[in-house]
A = this chain, B = another copy of it.
Amino acid sequence: MVRAEIITIGDEILYGQILDTNTQWISFELDKLGIKTIRKSSVGDSAEEITTILNESKSRADVVFITGGLGPTKDDLTKKVLADFFHCSLEMNEDALKDVTEFFLKRGRELSDINRDQALLPTKAQFIPNNQGTAPCMWFDEFGVIWISMPGVPFEMKAIMENEVIPKLISHFKTPIIYHKVIKTIGIGESYLSDLIQDWELSLPKHIKLAYLPSLGIVKLRLTAFGDDLEGLKANVEEQIALLRPMINSFIFGYEKDEIAEVVGHLLIKNKSTIAVAESCTGGHLSHQFTQISGCSEYFMGGVISYSNEIKKEILHVSDSILNKDGAVSESCVTAMAKSIREKFNTTYGMATSGIAGPTGGSIEKPVGTVWIALASEGEVITRKLQLGGNRMQNIHMTSLNSLNLIRRYLLKDLS
Q: Which residues of A contact B (CB under 8 A)?
A: 8, 13-21, 23-31, 37-44, 49, 53, 56, 211, 213, 276-277, 279, 282-292, 294-297, 300-308, 310-311, 314-315, 344-346, 357-360, 392-393, 396
Our pick among B38, B286, B291 for the contact of A44 (Cβ within 8 Å) is B38
Nearest-neighbor residue (CB-CB) of A41 within chain B: B41
| Copies of this chain | 2
Whether A306 and B315, one on each chain, are in contact in the complex, defined by CB atoms closer than 8 angstroms, is no
The answer to whether A360 touches B295 (Cβ under 8 A) is: yes
A219 → chain B closest CB, angstroms: 12
Instruction: Given A44-B38, A303-B305, check contact A392 B16 (CB 8 Å).
Output: no
Q: Which of B15, B286, B296, B358 contacts A27 (CB 8 A)?
A: B15
CB-based nearest B residue for A25 = B16
**Could you show 22 A-B contacts with beta carbons less than 8 Å apart?**
A13-B24, A14-B27, A14-B37, A15-B37, A16-B24, A16-B25, A16-B26, A17-B28, A17-B213, A20-B24, A38-B49, A40-B42, A277-B305, A284-B290, A284-B291, A285-B288, A287-B305, A292-B392, A296-B307, A302-B304, A302-B308, A315-B344
List B contacts of A292 (CB < 8 A).
283, 392-393, 396
CA distance A302 to B376 in the complex (A): 21
Residues of B within 8 A of A56 (CB): 56
Q: Are B15 and A392 in contact (CB under 8 A)?
A: no
List of B residues within 8 angstroms of A290 by Cβ: 283-284
Q: Specify which of B14, B279, B315, B392 is in contact with A40 (CB 8 Å cutoff).
A: B14
Q: Report yes or no: B297 in contact with A308, Cβ–Cβ below 8 A.
A: yes
Known: A20-B24, A284-B288, A296-B307. 17 other contacts (CB 8 A): A14-B40, A15-B28, A16-B25, A16-B28, A16-B29, A17-B213, A38-B49, A56-B56, A279-B284, A285-B288, A294-B357, A302-B307, A302-B311, A303-B305, A304-B305, A314-B346, A315-B345
